[in-house]
Amino acid sequence: MSFKPRTPSRARLIDPSPHDLRRLVLDYLLHNCHTTAARAFLRESGVRQPNTDENDPIAYVPEKDMSDIELRILETRFTMGLLRKEIRTLILTGRIDDATELIKKHYPSVLSEPTDDAPHSTVRRFDYLPATSTDPTHLALNLRIQAFIEAARTIPLPYCPPGADTPLPHPPLLSATAAATLASAGGGEDSVMTEGEGESESEQSNAQLLHRAQSLYSEVNRLSRAADRATYLVELGQVGGILAYTVPERSPLATYMTQARREAVADQIDSAILHHAKKLSVSRIELYTRYTSTIWSMLHDKDIPVPPRSKWPANASLPPTREPDTQPTNKSSGSLDNAIPTAKKASPEKETDEVLPRFDLHLFVESQGSR
């Protein structure tokens, strides 16, 4: 029997229990691969925790909030979070080939087209679609293009994980220009090459880069969709331009050599892993926030008036709004403080024909902090 998440009732949505809120926090931590923080949260919040002992995986700390099926799903999410974090870290450090092998081993459907006889799932509930492509062909090509960029790198680009004091070890630079760059920067005796060695290494690395580029062009030309071929041929024409520069990090194409480029690839791959695993590509708290913001904005744009307070659910209130812009009261001070609009909590007692306001997350968080 397949496990189906329970749809929260209207009453639970309006007045969630501590257990509901705890699930929301746990989902956020696991979605963002904060597995250590998630385990600590489980211990502190009293939820049963999966046993990490491989010899006794079904041992749990007694608690009544979660069923055994839910705990097994939770344990799977812990494992998935660790793998997703490892894949992301490999991409962010430039180890694209290692990341690709890990994806093929644990999530093969992410980089390979499904077979014709594969079962097709039907979406029966509201889901948030990923913002980037999840097409295996696109993902595989994007990884290969990033691998080409890493092979052409001449200056190390270290990655320091959040919360870490030192960056992770950088993979060896494949470009022969890198050795010359390090030597000119005072890389030491190990970085110094003779003229003959330098020419030989340069010719070999350039040949490898050229072979990578030709392989990419061949793969793009084999794409079945003409639109995809056109898109990727344009991108390869731009990315391939880094071959024209001795140090591409200092060229007009330096944007391809940045950490932001690695992060974009890592984000797309992580989103695709979640999508192919039938998981939301955003955390539930982000999904609910987007949904709430969209609904309130639609009501505001359609000029829906505020209903009488007698029809409001218990403990309901309007989203906070900003005071209208006013002139500074202290003209001699020159301070801008008085000109900055502040959050204003809507009065629930007021029954007028005013239109329902939009939901502003920043104002909402600000108003909660001032309580």
The pLDDT value given to residue 18: 83
Judged on CB neighbours under 10 Å (0-12, 13-18, 19+), 53 is: exposed
pLDDT digits 0-9 by tens, 262-305: 999 999 999 999 999 988 888 999 988 988 899 999 999 999 99
- Tokens coding 15: 């007045």
In whole angstroms, give the CA distance from residue 92 to residue 134: 19
Residue with tokens 């979605």: 31
Task: Give the global pTM.
Answer: 0.74
The pLDDT value given to residue 163: 83
In whole angstroms, give the CA distance from residue 320 to residue 359: 8
Q: Which amino acid is at 222?
A: R
pLDDT digits 0-9 by tens, 34-56: 999 998 988 887 655 555 544 43
Asked whether the beta carbons of 12 and 24 are under 8 A apart, the reply is: no
Residue with tokens 């002992």: 53
Q: Is 157 helix (H, G, I), strand (E, B) or coil?
A: coil
Q: Which amino acid is at 326?
A: T
- Residues of the chain where predicted confidence (pLDDT) is lower than 70: 1-14, 46-66, 114-128, 175-201, 324-353, 370-371
Asked whether the beta carbons of 129 and 152 are under 8 A apart, the reply is: no
